[in-house]
Structure 1
Amino acid sequence: MVMIEACEGVNLTALSEALSSRPSGVSRLCDGLEAAGLLERGASTTSGREVELRLIASGQSLTDIRDFRRREVTTVLRTMPTAQLVALIERLEALPSAARSHTNTAPLKQEPSANTA
Structure 2
Amino acid sequence: MIHIRFSNNHYGGEIDLSGTPGDLRNIGQSILELFEAQDVQVCIPANEVDPAPYDSCLNLLLIRKSDCPVKVMVAGSSLKIEGTPEKLKVFADWFNFGDSTESGYHNHFDYYEGNEWVDPASVSLIISVQ
TM range (shorter): under 0.3
Q: Structure 1-normalised TM-score?
A: 0.25
- For the pair shown, the structure with the greater C-alpha radius of gyration is 1
Asked which structure has the greater RCO (Cα within 8 Å, sep 6+), the reply is 2
Q: Structure 2-normalised TM-score?
A: 0.23
* Structure that is richer in strand per residue: 2
* Structure that is richer in helix per residue: 1
